[in-house]
A and B are shown apart, each in its own frame.
Chain A
Amino acid sequence: MQHYIVRRILQLIPVLLGISLITFLLIQLMPSDPAIVVLRVNQVPVTEAAIAAMRERLGLNRPLPIQYFDWLWHVLHLDFGNSYVTGEPVLQEVLHYAPVTLKLTCFTAILILLIALPAGILAALYKNSMFDQMSRMFAYTGTAIPSFWLGFLLIYLFSLKLKLFPVMGSGTLAHFVLPAITLAWGPAAICTRLLRSSMLDSLSQNYVLYARARGVFERMVIGQHVFKNALLPVVTFFGLSFAHLLSGAVIVENVFALPGVGRFMVKAILSRDYPVIQCFVCLSAFLFVSVNLIVDLVYGYLDPRIRLGGVNESAH
């Protein structure tokens, strides 16, 4: 297992390097010159001389590879430069907004599991029952409704009409309930259906039938043979949707006026605050890759064949 973890972590290095390169080049490909952007936000008159001076100050006149390695060196020391708008270190600003977004994301992830695991298992065990039909409806609506609209509906019903939850802000836990529901509905719906279908798939395996024939108690059949095997695709989807949640938070944070990274990012994009955008892209990529690493490790735990790298040696 240790060998497997080390191997997976080493594989991350080229991936992260590639991401940093793309993030860096992305800014170079932008239509507007960073020097002009800085001059505009600081309300300095845009003249030839001012642009040249600013380019010199930002180090934009050096060859690209040197600029890249210089930037990468600073990033490795967690220095993403200063914001064009406020002049403050970027990382500090992003970290200032991060707790709200992280809280929202974790809250949502827990909500997804709380809904999807029991609902998926029950829908599979009582296939085509009333409950299964209801979970199907839940899934269709969940995937069909765009999250910003759902957010507004929830605010209208629970905050304005029923006055159960606050409309906006982030002071208490109650502030996170509606945003988390908004974010969780879609992924929870997909997770439920995914778990249902992979449970049904496992249920039809011969060794499940044979376990019943040998008198293995139903609780053990479902727990040991069906559920554990059925979890694999769900874990994959969950890992991917966790990263999706981070970007989905951008919309939901704006709808519910949560002061999180998402809202901060929209502002940065509108004002072309490139260092902030770079920092955000790098950090989300890092998070995404880390979550996927965790998913892979969970995979290794759930399916020992992956860990041993021996799937191909199988006689069948």
Chain B
Amino acid sequence: MTLLLIRNVSKTYTLNQGWQGRKAITALQNVSLTISPGCCLGLVGESGSGKSTLGRVTLGLEKPDSGEIWFQGKDISRLKNNELNALRRDMQVVFQDSFSAVNPQLKAREIIAEPINNYLRISPTETRDRVAQLLEKVGLTAADAEKYPHQFSGGQLQRITIARAIALNPKFIVLDEPVASLDMTIQAQILDLLLSLKREFNLAYLFISHDLAAVSFISDALAVMYEGAIVEHLGDVNRMSELQHPYSIRLMASQLPAHPRYRLPILHGDDNGFQRSIS
């Protein structure tokens, strides 16, 4: 059974360069993916490889040029905005920059209550209780409910956006580099939190990252993206050593090991040959 099915999705942007004319940039080419309920797919790739575009297309923020995205039996790429909103109750999102993801003029309580008020008709007291529960669930206290975003640290605010994302018990969350701009210790805490929420609520994640260590910690399956295409797919994240594609190997080699002695050799000098082997 699959929760999300992405089939042959392509997306091209045209960049207007003024007098130099237009330039087409291929962000996604023939991408296919599946995510089962309760599973986390880690999507890794370098900056500009199209992984964030895939996230945005999955969320229905952008329409793909071709291909299909099936979520709960509906093709997202063909739905109108008001039809999409019904699906979005089960599909939430957490972004990298938590400070730009929240309205700076709202209290934490209002931020977390927003999806609840949006989809459910429940009394203010019930909402308040629900917000308090959610705050506790993500490791904050009820006293934090009355604070404004600028009174939180980056890690705390990311917890609030996570609380907002799980407020309606969704089935699927797109995590777009949720820990990339946090300190290492905070990263570990947030990843722990995400993992425990996933187990508790049987959540499915699309975990977009460029950090293999983070991905291997939280994901069940792994897809490697390069220049808009999925170049390698791994059903079990524990078999990461079996990655074969030259780009995957280079990505692994770029990770810092626990001790420099264990560092994998970095491939040098044959970028051209490497490019050829992909296409």
Same assembly = yes
Binding site for B on A (CB under 8 A): 205-207, 209-218, 220, 224-225, 228-229, 302-305, 308, 310-311, 313-316
Instruction: Report how far A220 CA is from B99 CA in the complex, Å.
Output: 20
Task: Mark contacts of B53-86 with chain A using CB atoms, 8 A cut-off: 1 yes-contact digit, 0 otherwise.
Answer: 0001001110000000000000000000100111
Task: Collect the chain A residues with CB atoms within 8 Å of residue B16's CB.
Answer: none
Would you call A217 and B148 a contact (CB within 8 A)? Answer: no
Task: Collect the chain B residues with CB atoms within 8 Å of residue A205's CB.
Answer: 100
Most chain B Cβ neighbours within 10 Å, of A214, A224, A228, A229: A214
Would you call A217 and B118 a contact (CB within 8 A)? Answer: yes
Question: What's the tally of chain B residues with a CB closer than 8 Å to chain A?
Answer: 38
Nearest opposing residue in chain A for B91, CB measure:
A215
Task: Collect the chain A residues with CB atoms within 8 Å of residue B151's CB.
Answer: 310, 313
Quick one: given A210-B95, A305-B150, A310-B151, are A215 and B101 in contact (CB under 8 Å)?
Answer: no
Task: Collect the chain B residues with CB atoms within 8 Å of residue A316's CB.
Answer: 99, 150
Would you call A215 and B84 a contact (CB within 8 A)? Answer: yes
A215 is contacted by which of B89, B99, B107, B153 (Cβ under 8 Å)?
Answer: B89
Quick one: given A213-B61, A214-B88, A315-B150, are A302 and B105 in contact (CB under 8 Å)?
Answer: yes
Instruction: Report how far A311 CA is from B268 CA in the complex, Å.
Output: 48
Would you call A216 and B105 a contact (CB within 8 A)? Answer: no
| Chain A contact surface mostly | helix
Would you call A214 and B99 a contact (CB within 8 A)? Answer: no
Most chain B Cβ neighbours within 10 Å, of A210, A211, A302, A308: A210
Would you call B93 and A216 a contact (CB within 8 A)? Answer: no
Nearest opposing residue in chain B for A225, CB measure:
B103
Nearest opposing residue in chain B for A208, CB measure:
B103
Smallest beta-carbon distance A304→chain B, Å: 6
Quick one: given A207-B103, A224-B103, A228-B105, are A215 and B85 in contact (CB under 8 Å)?
Answer: yes
Would you call B101 and A210 a contact (CB within 8 A)? Answer: yes
**Sample of 5 more A-B contacts, CB < 8 Å, known A214-B165, A216-B118:** A206-B97, A207-B100, A220-B118, A302-B105, A304-B107
Task: Collect the chain A residues with CB atoms within 8 Å of residue B91's CB.
Answer: 215
A-B residue pairs in contact (CB < 8 Å), sample of 19:
A206-B95, A207-B102, A210-B93, A211-B103, A213-B56, A214-B88, A214-B92, A214-B93, A215-B86, A215-B119, A220-B114, A220-B118, A304-B105, A305-B104, A305-B148, A310-B148, A313-B150, A315-B152, A315-B153
Would you call A315 and B148 a contact (CB within 8 A)? Answer: no
Task: Collect the chain B residues with CB atoms within 8 Å of residue A212's CB.
Answer: 61, 81
Would you call B93 and A213 a contact (CB within 8 A)? Answer: yes
Would you call B61 and A308 a contact (CB within 8 A)? Answer: no
